[in-house]
Amino acid sequence: MFLILEGEVRIFSKQKNGEILFLRMLRAGDAFGEIALLNQTPRSASAEAAKEGLLLKISAASLDKLMRAEPALAGQFLFHLARSLGRQLSDLTARLRSQRDFGGTYSFIQ
Domain ranges of the chain: 2-101
For residue range 36-89, what is the model confidence (pLDDT) as tens digits? 888 888 888 899 999 999 999 999 999 999 999 999 999 999 999 999 889 888
Lowest mean pLDDT among 16-20, 52-56, 70-74, 98-102: 98-102
Quick one: DSSP state of residue 44? S
Q: Write a three-state SS string for 31-44.
A: EECHHHHHHCCCCC
- In angstroms, the CA 42 to CA 97 distance is 28
pLDDT at 62: 94
Q: Both ends of the chain: CA-CA distance in Å? A: 31
pTM for the complete prediction? Answer: 0.75
Taking the domain 2-101, which CATH number applies?
Answer: 2.60.120.10
